[in-house]
C-alpha cells in the first residue's frame, strides 16, 4: 500500500545545526556527563525582575485573549517611539509589528518581499536560517564570502554580487556566528548601492545592544535616513533581555510592508504572546542597567577566550566586537591526525571535540563556512574557563 508523498519543499528544510548541538549537549548533561555547552545561543542569566513581575500582573489582569496580528496598537505605539528614539528616525505605530521572535519577523519579510527567482545577497558566514527562509519564499540566496575581508560585508563584495535579478541585501550586525560589527563607512556605501540599484535591505540587528569593550553598533537607517523606505529592520527582545523562551521579536519598515506582514501573520500564527507583549511594554525603558551589566560580564568572558586562543597553535578567530560568539578558524586541523585518526571534516571535528573534550561547539558548515567553529561564551564564567582549558588540551594533541 502506498500513500501520498511529502511536499517537495521539505528537501529545502533541515534541522538547524545550532539547535542540534544544543540538544545533544543537553541530553548528555541529563545523563550525568560534564559537558561545557559552547553551542548556547542565549544568555545564561535570568531576565529582569520587573519583566517577571509585569508578566504575572498581566496574567492576573486577564491579559489572556487575542490581540491584533502584529500586537496591541498601544504597545506598537510605544515600541515605535522607542525605535524612533534609538534610531533618530521617526517611526509610526503602523510601521512596526511584533512577531513570535525575530525568526518569524525574518520569515514574514522574505515572504512579503521576495518573488520566485529573486536574488538576495547574503554574507558568509550567515546565521543558519537566512538562506532557508529565502528559498522557502522561492528566492535564490547569493552567498558572498566575507572571510578575506575580516568577516565583514563590504560595498565591493555587494557590488560584485549584484545582477539584474537582485532584489535585496541581507545584513546581520552584530553578526551571528562571528561577532563582527560592521563599519559605519561600509554601511553607508552599501546603503548607497541599495539606492542606486533600487534594492531592499533586510537589516537584522538582534544583537544591537550586546556590544563588546566599548564598541559601537550602527543602524543603516540612522546613517542614511532615506533608506527607511527600502529597509526592513529586524530585532527582538530575546537576546538583549534574556527572553528567548518568550518569543517576542519585531520588525519595522514601510507601512505597506508591515501591512503585508499583518495579513500574512493573520493566516499563520496570528498574534505573538500577549503576556510577553504587556510585560515588555511595562519594562521597555528599564533595561539599560541590565544591558550594561550583561555587556560587562560578556566582555570579561570574551577576554578569557581570547587569551586562551593565543596559546592554541594554528587557531585564529574573527574580531568579535558584538553578540556573544567567537568564530574560530580550524582549517589547519582538517585532514590532520588526532590520536592516530585523520579528521576529515569540520562536522567530524565538532563531534570529536564533544566526544573527547566534552565541549559542545557548532560546526561552521551550518553557517556556510566549514573553515570555522562557533564558540558561544553565553555560559558561566567557570564554564568559559573550563571549556577553554579543555579545548587547549584537545587541539594540542593534533599532529
Rounded Cα distance between 3 and 1, Å, is 7
| CATH number of the domain residue 148 falls in | 3.40.640.10
- Based on the domain organization, do 298 and 271 belong to the same domain? no
- Based on the domain organization, do 265 and 303 belong to the same domain? no
| 208-241 burial: b if 16+ Cβ within 10 Å, else e | bbbbbeeeebbbbbbbbeebbebbbbbbbbbbbb
pLDDT at 101 over 80: yes
Rounded Cα distance between 172 and 208, Å, is 10
- Based on the domain organization, do 99 and 219 belong to the same domain? yes
Q: What's the average model confidence in pLDDT over 107-125?
A: 98
- Based on the domain organization, do 96 and 139 belong to the same domain? yes
Residue 135 lies in a domain: yes
Among 17, 39, 16, 42, smallest CA distance to 345 is for: 17
Q: What's the average model confidence in pLDDT over 357-369?
A: 95
- Based on the domain organization, do 266 and 300 belong to the same domain? no
**Which pLDDT does position 109 carry in this prediction?**
98
pLDDT at 249 over 70: yes
- Based on the domain organization, do 142 and 261 belong to the same domain? yes
- Based on the domain organization, do 333 and 254 belong to the same domain? no
Q: Which of 235, 268, 283 is at the close of a domain?
A: 283
Percentage of the chain with pLDDT > 70? 99
**Which pLDDT does position 17 carry in this prediction?**
65
Q: What's the average model confidence in pLDDT over 344-371?
A: 94
Rounded Cα distance between 22 and 13, Å, is 18
Looking at residue 7, what DSSP letter applies? P
**Which pLDDT does position 241 carry in this prediction?**
86
What SS3 class is residue 207?
coil
pLDDT at 281 over 80: yes
Residue 200 lies in a domain: yes
Residue 54 lies in a domain: no
pLDDT at 14 over 90: no
pLDDT band at 23 (very low <50, low <70, confident <90, very high): confident
Instruction: Determine if the pTM surpasses 0.85.
Output: yes
**Which pLDDT does position 107 carry in this prediction?**
97
- Based on the domain organization, do 233 and 335 belong to the same domain? no
Rounded Cα distance between 378 and 189, Å, is 33
Cβ atoms 323, 399 nearer than 8 A: no
Residue 270 lies in a domain: yes
**Which pLDDT does position 25 carry in this prediction?**
74
pLDDT at 98 over 80: yes
Q: What's the average model confidence in pLDDT over 169-176?
A: 97
Most confident of 44-48, 192-196, 278-282, 307-311: 192-196
Q: Which of 223, 249, 283 is at the close of a domain?
A: 283
**Summary mean pLDDT of the chain:** 93
- Based on the domain organization, do 311 and 179 belong to the same domain? no
Q: What's the average model confidence in pLDDT over 131-157?
A: 96
- Based on the domain organization, do 98 and 210 belong to the same domain? yes
Residues 6 or more apart whose CB falls under 8 angstroms from that of 172 comprise: 123, 126, 127, 130, 204, 205
Number of domains in the chain: 2
- Based on the domain organization, do 334 and 208 belong to the same domain? no
**Which pLDDT does position 18 carry in this prediction?**
65
Q: Which of 240, 264, 283 is at the close of a domain?
A: 283
- Based on the domain organization, do 200 and 215 belong to the same domain? yes
pLDDT at 320 over 80: yes
| CATH number of the domain residue 333 falls in | 3.90.1150.10
pLDDT band at 6 (very low <50, low <70, confident <90, very high): confident
Residue 129, judged by CB atoms within 10 A of its CB (0-12, 13-18, 19+), counts as middle
Residue 259 lies in a domain: yes
pLDDT band at 240 (very low <50, low <70, confident <90, very high): confident
**Which pLDDT does position 16 carry in this prediction?**
73
Per the structure, the complete domain to which residue 169 belongs is given by 65-283
**Which pLDDT does position 19 carry in this prediction?**
67
Amino acid at each position: 500500500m502506498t500513500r501520498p508523498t511529502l511536499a517537495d519543499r521539505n528537501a529545502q528544510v533541515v534541522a538547524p545545526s545550532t539547535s542540534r548541538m544544543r540538544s545533544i549537549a543537553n541530553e548528555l548533561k541529563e545523563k550525568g556527563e560534564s559537558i561545557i555547552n559552547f553551542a548556547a545561543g542565549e544568555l545564561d542569566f535570568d531576565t529582569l525582575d520587573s519583566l517577571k513581575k509585569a508578566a504575572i500582573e498581566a496574567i492576573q489582569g486577564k491579559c489572556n485573549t487575542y490581540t491584533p496580528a502584529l500586537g496591541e496598537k498601544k504597545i506598537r505605539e510605544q515600541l515605535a517611539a522607542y525605535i524612533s528614539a534609538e534610531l533618530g528616525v521617526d517611526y509610526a505605530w503602523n510601521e512596526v509589528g511584533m512577531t513570535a521572535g525575530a525568526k518569524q519577523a525574518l520569515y514574514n519579510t522574505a515572504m512579503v518581499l521576495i518573488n520566485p527567482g529573486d536574488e538576495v545577497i547574503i554574507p558568509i558566514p550567515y546565521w543558519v536560517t537566512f538562506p532557508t527562509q529565502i528559498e522557502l519564499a522561492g528566492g535564490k540566496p547569493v552567498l558572498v564570502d566575507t572571510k578575506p575581508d575580516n568577516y565583514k560585508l563590504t560595498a565591493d563584495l555587494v557590488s560584485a554580487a549584484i545582477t539584474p535579478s537582485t532584489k535585496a541585501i541581507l545584513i546581520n550586525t552584530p553578526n551571528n556566528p562571528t561577532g563582527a560589527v560592521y563599519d559605519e563607512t561600509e554601511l553607508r556605501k552599501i546603503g548607497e548601492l541599495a539606492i542606486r540599484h533600487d534594492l531592499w535591505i533586510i537589516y537584522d540587528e538582534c544583537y544591537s545592544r550586546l556590544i563588546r569593550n566599548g564598541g559601537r553598533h550602527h543602524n543603516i537607517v540612522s546613517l542614511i535616513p532615506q533608506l527607511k523606505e527600502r529597509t526592513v529592520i529586524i530585532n527582538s527582545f530575546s537576546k538583549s533581555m534574556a527572553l528567548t523562551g518568550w518569543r517576542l521579536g519585531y520588525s519595522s519598515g514601510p507601512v505597506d510592508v508591515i501591512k503585508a506582514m499583518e495579513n500574512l501573520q493573520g493566516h499563520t500564527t496570528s498574534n505573538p504572546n500577549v503576556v510577553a507583549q504587556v510585560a515588555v511594554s511595562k519594562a521597555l525603558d528599564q533595561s539599560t542597567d541590565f544591558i550594561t551589566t550583561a555587556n560587562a560580564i560578556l566582555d570579561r568572558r570574551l577576554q578569557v577566550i581570547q587569551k586562551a586562543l593565543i596559546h592554541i597553535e594554528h587557531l585564529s578567530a574573527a574580531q568579535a566586537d558584538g553578540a556573544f560568539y567567537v568564530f574560530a578558524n580550524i582549517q589547519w586541523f582538517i585532514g590532520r591526525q588526532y590520536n592516530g585518526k585523520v579528521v576529515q571534516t569540520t562536522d567530524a571535528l565538532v563531534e570529536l571535540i564533544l566526544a573527547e573534550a566534552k565541549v559542545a561547539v557548532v560546526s561552521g558548515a551550518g553557517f556556510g563556512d566549514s573553515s570555522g567553529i562557533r564558540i558561544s561564551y553565553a555560559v558561566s564564567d567557570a564554564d568559559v574557563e573550563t571549556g577553554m582549558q579543555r579545548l587547549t588540551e584537545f587541539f594540542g594533541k593534533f599532529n
